[in-house]
Amino acid sequence: ASNKKLLVLPGDGIGPEVVRETLRVVDWMAKKRSVSFDVQEGLVGGAAYDASGTPLTDETLADAVDADAVLFGAVGGPKYDDLPFEKKPERGLLRLRKEMDLFANLRPAMVFASMADNSSLKRDLVAGLDIMILRELTGGVYFCEPRGIEDLPGGGKRGFDTQAYSTPEIERIGRVAFDLARKRRNKVTSVEKANVMMSGVLWRQVMTDLHKREGEGLEYENMYADNCAMQLVRNPKQFDVIVTDNLFGDILSDCAAMLTGSLGMLPSASLGAEDPTTGRRHALYEPVHGSAPDIAGRGIANPIAELLSFAMLLRYSFDMGEDADLVEKAIDNVLSSGLRTADIMQEGKAKVSTGVMTDSILKELDKLVSG
Active site residues: 142, 193, 226, 250, 254
Is 20 one of the annotated binding-site residues? no
**By CB neighbour count within 10 A (0-12 exposed, 13-18 middle, 19+ buried), where does 89 fall?**
buried
Stretch that binds ligand IPM, among 4-12, 87-95, 316-324, 338-346 (CB under 6 A): 87-95
Q: Counting contacts by CB under 6 A, is residue 90 touching ligand IPM?
A: yes
Given ligand IPM, Mn ion, ligand NAD, none, residue 355, with its beta carbon under 5 to 8 Å by kind, binds none
Q: Which is nearer to ligand NAD, 98 or 182 (CB)?
A: 98
What gap in Å lies between CA 122 and CA 118, rounded to an integer? Answer: 9
Q: What does the alpha-carbon distance between residue 301 and residue 298 come to, in Å, rounded to a whole number?
A: 8
| Contact yes or no for 354/341 (Cβ under 8 A) | yes
- The residues that touch Mn ion, with contacts defined as CB under 5 A, are 250
Is residue 78 a known part of a binding site?
yes
Does residue 144 belong to the site contacting ligand IPM (CB under 6 A)?
Answer: no
CA 78 and chain centroid, separation: 22
Rounded CA-CA distance 208/200 in Å is 12
Q: Contact 203/190 with Cβ under 8 angstroms?
A: yes
68 marked among binding-site residues: no
161 binds ligand IPM (CB under 6 A): no
Nearest distance from C-beta of residue 135 to ligand IPM, angstroms: 8
Task: Kindly state the greatest CA–CA separation across the chain.
Answer: 75
Q: In what helix (H) or strand (E) does residue 136 lie, and over which residues does it extend?
A: strand 130-136
The answer to whether the CB of 164 falls within 8 A of the CB of 182 is no
Smallest separation, CB 368 to ligand NAD (Å): 24
Give the binding site for ligand NAD (CB under 6 A).
14, 18, 74-77, 90, 93, 263-264, 286, 289-295, 301-302, 305, 343
Question: What stretch of H or E contains 72?
Answer: strand 69-74
**Region of 90-98, 116-124, 339-347, 348-356 interacting with ligand IPM (CB under 6 A):** 90-98
For residue 364, the Cα-to-chain-centroid distance in whole angstroms is 25
SS3 17: helix
Could you tell me which of 234, 272, 230 has the C-alpha nearest to residue 251? 230
Q: Which residue number, 169 or 250, has a Cβ lying nearer to Mn ion?
A: 250
Phi, psi dihedral angles at 5 (to 5 degrees): -85, 115
From the list ligand IPM, Mn ion, ligand NAD, none, pick the one residue 305 interacts with, judged by a Cβ distance below 5 to 8 Å according to partner type. ligand NAD
Shortest approach of ligand IPM to residue 83 CB, angstroms?
14
Does 94 engage in binding with ligand IPM (CB under 6 A)?
A: yes
81 is in an annotated binding site: yes
Beta carbon nearer to ligand IPM, 94 or 233: 94
Q: How far is the CB of 36 from ligand IPM (least distance, A)?
A: 29
DSSP conformational letter for 84: -
- Interaction residues for ligand IPM, span 235-254 (CB under 6 A): 250
Is the CB of 180 or the CB of 296 nearer to ligand NAD? 296
C-beta atoms surrounding 282 within 10 Å: 24
Nearer Cβ to ligand NAD, position 204 or 340?
340
> Is 290 labelled as part of a ligand binding site?
yes
In the set 18, 134, 223, 288, which binds ligand IPM (CB under 6 A)? Answer: 288
Q: How far is the CB of 342 from ligand NAD (least distance, A)?
A: 7
Q: How far is CA 135 from CA 67, 96, 269, 270, in A?
A: 23, 16, 10, 9
Tell me whether residue 182 is annotated as binding: no
Give the whole-angstrom CA distance, residue 195 versus residue 268: 29
**Whether 253 contacts 108, CB under 8 Å:** no
The answer to whether the bond into 78 is cis (omega within 30° of 0) is no
By beta-carbon proximity to Mn ion, the closer residue of 68 and 250 is 250
300 is annotated as contributing to ligand binding = yes
287 is in an annotated binding site: no
Q: CB 76: neighbour CB atoms within 10 A?
A: 23
Please select the residue that binds ligand IPM; options are 7, 67, 93, 102, rule is CB under 6 A. 93
Question: Residues within the annotated binding site for Mg(2+)?
Answer: 226, 250, 254
Question: Residues within the annotated binding site?
Answer: 77-90, 97, 107, 135, 226, 250, 254, 290-302
Question: Residues within the annotated binding site for substrate?
Answer: 97, 107, 135, 226
